[in-house]
């Protein structure tokens, strides 16, 4: 796990990029942003102790949102491969976690108001 400081207004994860890392916020704030037709919409803000990137990384889906630092932010970065290697010990646990995250991924899209085509419903 690697700790790093990210200045304000830096994109940590870009929407639609291939998943690679999981992040935990040690200090600071990170905005969740959805971009459609070059228009950004801030969906919320993550704070100390929150985690992001885990769903896309663990179920191998493109990232649904951009995660951008709002303030100077300290993040712990965990490589997905490292986590997957640790999870190899019990394969059935890995499958349970992946299923849980996949359900959470779809529920998360529903909760923030995205329809089946990935577009916001107003």
Question: What was the pLDDT predicted at 104?
Answer: 54
Please give the DSSP secondary-structure letter assigned to residue 94. Answer: H
pLDDT at 89: 61
Task: Retrieve residue 78's tokens.
Answer: 């965990």
Mean pLDDT per segment of 10 residues, for the chain of length 122 residues?
91 89 93 93 92 80 92 91 68 65 51 41 35
Packing angle, helices 80-87 and 91-111, rounded to 10: 130
Sketch out the chain's domains with CATH numbers: 2-111 (2.60.120.10)
Q: What is the pLDDT of residue 67?
A: 95
Largest CA distance in the chain: 45
Cα angle 113-114-118, degrees, rounded to a multiple of 5:
165
């Amino acid at each position: 796990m690697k700790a790093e400081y990210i200045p304000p207004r830096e994109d940590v994860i870009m929407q639609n990029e291939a998943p690679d890392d999981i992040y935990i916020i040690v200090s600071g704030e990170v905005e969740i942003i959805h971009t459609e037709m070059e228009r950004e919409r801030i969906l919320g803000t993550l704070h100390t102790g929150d985690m992001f990137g885990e769903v896309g990384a663990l179920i191998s889906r493109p990232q649904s949102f951009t995660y951008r630092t709002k303030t100077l932010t300290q993040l712990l970065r965990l490589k997905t491969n490292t986590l997957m290697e640790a999870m190899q010990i019990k394969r059935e646990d890995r499958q349970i976690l992946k299923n849980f995250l996949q359900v959470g991924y779809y529920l998360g899209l529903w909760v923030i108001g995205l329809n089946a085509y990935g577009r916001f419903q107003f």
